[in-house]
């Protein structure tokens, strides 16, 4: 399947809108986002081993995302009928019920729109030789802005804890005007944003600890 690649999606761009059929009915993506955070994540194909473990784990963690105002939506390059049968398998294998929608993208329309197609692994194709998707993750905020993107090859399963951590970092930064250091998890000290200067910094963060003028740590209340 030959198709020109769209302009690459970058952090800070508006998530492209689309209409699609899903396991929860037809959607307009921007309407689906509404005033929520959204994680859109793709899978190469239904009834595959790595994807099955990923969907089961994301289904298990969905309550953790929901309580943070985050909606999950998956995508796989298959039909609705295939998705529905696969969801039953996921329940059987992992014990988790997939309650979030999965987009049916047999024609790869959304995959091409979001540049999820595999250009590296020549074996990651369907019976017609059409490239399947890679394991993409898009973090989209309530303003419909893409805030983070992760991409994994088909052979590598994602880390669900890292997906949750990224959401926690983005939301913490937005709320408190901070950034998060390497390996940060909720409860760890954060870094005061460089744009917060002098008296404003000490007023906002009375427990500020300056290691260097450009590196100032502060504790924050742990988020749930």
Q: Please, which residues have CB within 8 angstroms of residue 63's CB and are 6 or more apart in sequence?
A: none
Tell me whether residue 51 is one of the annotated catalytic residues: yes
Phi, then psi, of 173 in degrees rounded to 5: -60, -45
- CB-CB neighbours of 129 under 10 Å: 8
Distance CA 117, CA 112 (A): 6
Q: Work out whether strand 178-179 and strand 135-140 pair parallel, antiparallel, or are unpaired.
A: unpaired
Residue 121 tokens, joined: 């692994």
Residue from 33, 51, 58, 104 carrying the catalytic annotation = 51
Alpha carbon separation from 181 to 65, 84, 191, 218 (Å, rounded): 22, 41, 7, 11
DSSP secondary structure letter of residue 35: T
Q: Which residues pair with 42 in a beta bridge?
A: 75
Residues labelled as active-site residues: 51
């Amino acid at each position: 399947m030959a198709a020109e690649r769209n302009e690459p999606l970058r952090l800070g761009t508006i998530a492209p809108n689309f209409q699609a059929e899903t396991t929860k009915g037809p959607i307009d993506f921007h309407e689906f986002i509404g005033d929520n955070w959204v994680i859109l994540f793709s899978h190469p194909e239904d009834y595959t081993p790595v994807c099955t473990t990923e969907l089961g784990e994301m289904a298990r963690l969905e309550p953790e995302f929901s309580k943070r105002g985050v909606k999950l939506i998956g995508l796989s390059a298959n039909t609705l009928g295939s998705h529905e049968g696969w969801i039953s398998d996921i329940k059987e294998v992992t014990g988790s019920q997939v309650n979030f929608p999965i987009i049916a993208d047999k024609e790869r329309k959304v995959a091409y729109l979001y540049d999820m197609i595999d250009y590296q692994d020549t074996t990651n194709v369907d019976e017609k030789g059409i490239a399947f998707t890679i394991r993409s993750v898009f973090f989209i905020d309530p303003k419909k802005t893409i805030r983070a993107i992760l991409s994994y090859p088909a052979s590598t399963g994602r880390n669900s804890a890292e997906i949750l951590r990224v959401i926690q970092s983005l939301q913490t930064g937005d709320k408190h005007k901070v950034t998060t250091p390497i390996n940060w998890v909720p409860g760890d000290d954060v870094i005061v944003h460089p744009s917060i200067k002098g008296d404003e910094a000490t007023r906002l963060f009375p427990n500020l600890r300056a290691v260097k003028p450009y590196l100032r740590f502060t504790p924050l209340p742990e988020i749930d």
